[in-house]
Each structure stands twice: as structure tokens, then as C-alpha cells.
Structure 1
Amino acid sequence: MRKAEILLSIIYEISEVLATPAQLEATLANVVNILSPFLQGGHGAIVVLDAEGEPQITANGGNTHPPQSGFRRVIPQAVIDQIVAEGTLVIPDISKSELFQVDLHTSSSSGTIPITFVGVAVKAEHQIVGTLSIDRVGDDAASFCCDEDVRFLTMVANLVGQTIRLHRILSMDGQWPIEEQRRPEKVLDEERTGPARHLHAKIDGIVGESPAVKQVLETIEIVARTNTTVLLRGESGTGKEVFAQAIHKLSPRSKKPFVKLNCAALPESVLESELFGHEKGAFTGAIAQRAGRFELANGGTLLLDEIGEISPSFQAKLLRVLQEGELERVGGTRTLKVDVRLVCATNKDLETAVLNGEFRADLYYRISVVPIILPPLRERPGDIPRLAKAFLDRFNRENERQFTFAPSALDVLSQCDFPGNVRELENCVRRTATLARSRMIAPSDFACKNSQCLSSLLWKGANRSHGGNATGELARGNMMPVGSPPPARRIGASEGTASPAKVGDPNEPAWRAMGPRLTERHRLIDAMETAGWVQAKAARILGLTPRQVGYALRRHGIKLRKF
């Protein structure tokens, strides 16, 4: 191999080592070891200097010199000072140099093997932060002293200098921080834009300071840097699309397309064409070739919302694309390769769907690589005032208004459970602002304070079989008061599936399992305790089957108690 190719290979290997987060001492030692093909029997050293010009770190590598050479591996301070002063130092034979006399054996140097030394300064931002030196022994020394070798060493020294500077920026009191494995560029970004805990402030559409939201955002920040498939889970209205956009914006694919598709909004035949595209004449109405969503999202991110609603037959077609990254347009025979980062979203209990044979297990495992559960609004009540203000500001901008909330009005909103989550809260704010009588929104402006809140009928589980309807209930004023707990959701049921649990006397067992803002796990435990830990009785309380209760107990890790 030619010398130029060897030098280029060395530069490439050194750049890879310097780009890998590690202790500075280990990084420099690896750099010196990589120089071995260039040394050809000699050895190299990198010395890092502190602010006073004293050696702070010394990394040695290469072969050990023979005893008769009289050379020690420690670079004398006089040699280091000379390199710092002149930038470059070339000594054809160190035995004839006064700079090395203090470091040679006291015995006569006659008969020693000549050693050639070359050293260059390591610079960063026009400051000398260390030295890089190498040497050769014997016959190879003559060919070592040339401008080409000095230029090569200067290139290596410049790369090393930038790495030393970066480590010093990241270091604290001269010690490498505990999170040494973090990506250096990420830390530099935090120095410019603030630490990661303020990440959510930079994501459009996401408002919240609750621990539940912060935990989700921290997970998204980590996941976004990879191409791993993400499954966003949560009740309807929790903002799954907004969080999917956040994953895309924080990923390396942020400059590529973000494409979304609601799988539940289209029949299977149309869904296949939308996702995979179609050729001209593939079916009636296909008057031209059309690219599908996978092709449109090539290089970027594709959001498949309501993934749990697709049919079993289409699940098999989708699985092949996800596994192989290949597809054919409808009516076509040419195989197309696509590079898409997939984000799926659902409010359906996929585990139950798999057990019931409604959802393919292999597709479930393929899309549920990193599941992220979005918290419902009732589990983050402290975020309600912040969200309400954000929605009101948006309403003001769109309609050129100047509405504000009275403190008591925000208290009214904070007392609601909002089963429809963020979407319902936004609708409530818009409805109230539209009908408000003054710029200051007061409690009396809310529909729930005037027995006009239609959403409360959903909380009450109005029984239309008894002739009830929303308009009739509204006319009679039979609305649920603010702060009243909604009925318990069916454990393991999909969002939007009405619970058969009926609203009754608060003293009844069924009602005691429906406390405000209780999680599904808490409601399940409450029902089991009320039923004396008999699954059949708890199932009747919750309006479920014993099998569904048993599955929910296993999913939440609740151990049965025996009496």
C-alpha cells in the first residue's frame, strides 16, 4: 500500500476514535497506538498541558526502544518547552542534542543507536494545549525527517487539539462529568439552548409541567435520536399526533417529510391505495399513477393513527412493509424500497385484541418496540390552567380578541375531569370564549354552571333506551354538577367504548369504584376490595366479564388476596 493511502487510513481511524465519547486519557492512548504503522518501530507520545504549561496527561504508545538506545519514554520538560516555543521541533539524533542529555543514561553514549525525534504543538483556538511527538530508531531515522511527515503530524495534532478543547468544555473542575457517555454535541446544544429539562418549552403544541408530561418528554427526547418504531398509547384526546410530531422534529429526520394517516377513517380498499399508492388503471377511477404515504414519507416519519382499527387481512400486508422495507403499488409489479421511521398511535387495548384474535401478534410485536403511554388530563390536573391559557391565547390570535381568565374561572376548569382530555378542554375554552359577555371570563360563562354542558351526559352514561336524549336532558336541566366524578371506564376497553356501568346512588358499591381522577388500576383495586376479592362480583361492579377482570389484574400486576 502506498504511503499516502496509509496516512489517509490513519487519519480516518483517528477521527473515529476522537468522535467516540470516552475518558480523555484512553482516547489519546488509542490515537498514539493507531500511529504505529506510521512509526515503523518507533514510539509516540501526546502530552496535555495544564494552564501553567505543566504536563497534565501523558499518553505513550508504540514499541519499546532497545536498552542500548539509551532512550527513556518520558519526554523531557526542556523538549516540551522548545516545542511550545517554536511550534515544531526536529532532532535528527537525540544523542547529540542538549535537550535530551538529562534524560539519557549517564554511561557513555558511544555505540548507541541513533534516534530521530519530531514534535509538533497541539493547538486549539490558537492556543497550545499540548504536544505530539514521535521518533524512529536506526536506519529508518533518515527517511523520517521530511516536510511531508511534519505536515501529517500537524494534521493529527489539530484533530487532537479540538478533542482536548471539547473535553475541557465538558469537564467540571478538571474531572470528566458522570454522564461521560452523553453525546458531546448534545451537551454543547444544551449550553446554547438550555438543559434538557426545558425541552418541552421548545415543542409546539405541548404544554405542561406535571411529572407525567416531563417523563414522556424525556423518553421522547431519547427515542427521537434513533430510528426505532414508537407506539403512542393513550385515551382519545391526549394529543398523540402532537407528540408524534415532536418525535419527528427532534430526530435526525426533521428536515424530511412528516406524513400522517388515520387508519380508521378509510375502508380497507382505499387504505391500501393511500399507504402503498397505485398504478394508472389499477382500479376504476385510477386515472393516473399515485405515490402512497410510505413513498411520500421516504426518509422521514410516517404516523399511522388508530393502528388498532385496521382489518386482519390488511395487517398482513402492512407487516411485510414494516419488516422488509419493500412494497408494491396497487396494480403494480415493481418492488419499491422505502426508508421510513414509523410512529403508530392507538387508544385501543391491543393486548386484549391480540388475545381475542383481532390483532396479529407478530404485527403487535413489530410496532410495540418502544411504547409510550400518554397521561390523561385527569392525571395531570395542574396542567389544566396552563393548557386553558394556551388555548385562549390561540383563540385570541385567530379571532383578534383579548379575552382573559379570571382566577375563579381557572378554578372551575381545574375541578373538571375532562374525559375527552385535552381535546375536550380546548373545545370548552373555545365555546366559553365565543359566548363570553366580557373580556374577563368568569365562572358564570361556563356551560356547566348554567346546566348547558352536553359532555356531562356522557359522564352520567345517559340511557337512551329509556327515551332519554341529549336535548331532553338539557331542557330538563338534568346535568351533572361540576366536580362530580365520571363513571368508571371499562377496564381494558378501548377508548370510545361506552361502559355499561350505570350511575346510581353514591353509597352503592359501583359508585365507590368511580372516585374522581382515579387511575384504571385504582378503580380495579377498589372494585376488588368492595367485592371481597371475588372476580365475578368485581366484574359486575365494573360492568365487565370475569375474564376481562382477570386479564386486567394480570396486566396491572395485582395479586389476588385470599381470605
Structure 2
Amino acid sequence: MPEHNNIETQLQDLAALYEITKNLASSLELRDCLEKTMETLATMKDMENGTVTIVNPNTGKLEIEVAYGVSSEGKERGKYQIGEGITGRVVATGEPIIVPHIAEEPLFLNRTKSRGNIQEHKRSFLCVPIKNGKQVIGALSIDRIYADGISQQANTDLQFLTVLSGLIAQTATRIQKVNQEKDELQSENQKLKRELSEKNRINDIIGNSSRMQDVYDMMHRIVDSNATVLLRGESGTGKTLVAKALHYNSKHKNSPFIVVNCSALPETLLESELFGHEKDAFIGATEDKIGRFAQAEGGTLFLDEIGEISQSVQTKLLHVVQERTFQRLGSNKLIDCDVRLIAATNKDLEKAVADKQFREDLYYRLNVFPIYMPPLRERRTDILLLAEFFMEKFSRENKKEIRRISTSAIDMLMQYHWPGNIRELQNCMERAVIICDDDTIKGIHLPPTLQTSDISSSASSTSLSTTVENFEKELIIEGLKKNNGNQTKTAKYLDTSLRIINYKIHQYNIDPKKYKV
């Protein structure tokens, strides 16, 4: 009969191991497969409170990774120092332990409080180390109630758990390796995307955001076409830069690139500017004038602020776009026109068409290939990139050695709404460079519009203490960055004591480790 029970136990163990091995082998998430393992121990082996405890490499403490039958509050309480309690001793010694009756064992701490009245049953506790090679990385433990008291069955269970701990260690190593390879692949993928992004960028246009990637894609599609391009977007978003990039990266790059700001000229002068005029065509026309269309022959004509032109000029422009011919003022002679046309506007042309302010037929002629330039507030990941570009540019122009932008200044730049878009950012950085006498642009160097923006609107403008605290925090962070996170060197750099620096670091919740290179 005992032999029959032994064979039955072995078969039960094999069935449980088979089920557990399937779960461990098929999962790529350690927590998921461990939870299924603990559930299998409960259902197939009558093992309660199955727990896997892992050494946290950051704190050095033992923390519960997975626990079956234990509440989340219990898991949070279940933390031990290595050597503390039964689990801590198993990890410290690397040897398994059986506790016949946990109520009689003073080393058993029961921190999870998941067992209720431990005096009620003679509950045993089995704990085995989880080893990665010779290193103990955690422990596997279970509760079990033996009807006949502690017996040979407990030793058999301990052997079973030791085998299982080896499988868990192998699985953890495998999943860690897979995740590491996955991270490396993701890192490589990001690297390739960055390289592609750099390759995809055109000339001096700055920006790697997803919105700008869409712009680059559209530009690459149209760059060598003769189709008319309509650049849409708010003022200051970089429409002129895109127009230049489309020309100088196209087959027309060796031909003229002519710019006309349609809003800067009155109607009569604009017609003459675009189409030219004959001598004596109007009062003051003392000689022939070649218009911008003629000047741009074989190249690109960029009409900025196209939404501002008058109805009369719209009519004549429509004729040029349709027929590819034009007449100078005061002449009946048709001149052939081979010009690639790019127009730009910050105006709502659809509304202008509905209000009869802009010709519908001209709108459709111009809107062949629209490219929408996103406002700076919709491409925030580019703000720092642009700010650093302008910082370096104006530092060179002003012969200054400004190398970086402080954390507080970055926060202000990132949270400002930028109604003037890139043009406003450019002006902001030029001002900051001119004012800055150090190697770092700080928040105090930025314009008042940024210092009184939404990021500080919640604080009173008369709050001296808040201003002082922000300035102190900024100085300490700058000091930590310059001294590789070393608090002693930072205290010396800021001409104060280490005690004061430590106090301020704690007060402002600054983590010096973040600034170690």
C-alpha cells in the first residue's frame, strides 16, 4: 500500500510538472507564467499561498513577485531583508528549509497576514532557493497542511519544489534574454528610424516629430514634380523654408528661386511686380520692367501670402496658371511661362471662397498638392531641437560660448503655447543668447511672455518665496550636472556647505543620481 501511494504521488508530481513546464515554456511574460505555476501548485498539489520572492537589485530587499492567494496589500507588506525571517535565511544560505508548524517557529514573520489564524491547523511552510548558476536570486515557498503531520511527504515536496525552482530560474534567464534581445531590436529600430529621419530631412529644416515626418514625406513625393504646391499653416511655421527646400532639392535647383510677398505690395504695384510692364504703361513707368514670372523662368516662383491678393490680380494669376502665358502691363504680346509655382497662405481659403473674397477656380488651381505645416504647439518634441539649433547659431553670431539650456528654461520652453510658432522661438532664443553672460541659458534669460505663461499662472506673480525656490533648485541642478552628481563638489561649486546642499536636495526632491554621466 505505501508503495502504491508513492507511485501515485510520483505520477501526480509528473502531471503537475508537465503542466507547469508547458506554461513556463510558452510564456514570454515572467509574471504571467509564475502566476499560472502557483495556480497549478494549488489545484494539483494542494500547496497553498504559493509565493515567488525575488531580490530587488536596486534596494537589495526581497520582494514578492508573484503570490497565489495573497492580497495586493499582503504582497506590499511581504518585504524582507536578506537573512530576515525564513525566506530571507533561505536566500542568504542558499539552502531549503521546512518549518513543520509555522505557529511554533519564531523566525516565521507572516508579514503578508494572508493565513488568518495560524494556530488553527498544523500548517507547514516549505521554502527553496531560486538560483541563477551559483547566485541566489530569490525563493519559492508554499504552505501545506499534512494530515498525518510532517512526514516523508514533506521531503518529497521539497525535492519537487527544488526541481521547480530550477525550471523557474531557467525560464527567468530565457525571458530575460528574450527581453534583452527585444530591447536591442527596438533600440536598433529606433536608431534606424533616426537615421532614416536624418536622411529624410531636407536641407536646414529642423524637426523629427511625427508631424514633421509627414511633411518630409509629402515633400519627397512632390519635390521633382511640376505640380503647383500650396503651403498651408499659421504664420511662423516655416512655409518659406519648405518652399526653398522644395526648389533647392529639385531638378530646378540650378534655376532661379524668386519670392514675392503678395501682402507687402498694393494691387497696381503687385501686377507690375508679377508680370512686368512696358515703358509708359502707366504714369511713372519710364522704362521696361521684367516681372517676377519672367525672372523665375525655368525655376520656381514662390508667392507668399497668396490669400491677400485682389480680385483683379487673382483673375490674371488664374490665366497664367491655366494657360502658362502672361502679358506685361501695357502690352498685348503673350509671353510663354515655364515656372514651377509654389504658393503659401495662413488664411482660411475655404472661408474666403465661401465669402466670395477668393476665386473658387483659382483656389482649385492652386490647391493641387497642399502641404500643411503644423504649428509648434503640435510638434512639442521639436521645441528643444529647434531651441538648441538657434542657441548654437546665435552663439556663433555673437561670439559667445553658450553650451546648454537649463532644466527650468527647458520646462518653460516646452510648456509655452508659442502663438508665433518657430519665428517667435527664434526671436526668444536670440534674446536669451544676447542677455546670457554664462555658458548656460536659464529661465531668467527668457522673455517675460514665457515667465508669465501658463506654467507659472497658478502661482501668484508676487510670490517671492516660490521664485527664490525655483531659482535655488535650478542652481543646484546646474551644479549637480556640472559636477557629475557629486554633492560635495556641488557644495564647493556653489560656495556653500554640504549640509545645506543635502538639506536643499531633500527639500526640493532632487535625485543626484540622475545627473551622473
- TM-score with structure 1 length normalisation? 0.45
Which structure has the greater CA radius of gyration?
2
Higher helix share: 2
Q: TM-score, normalised by structure 2?
A: 0.49
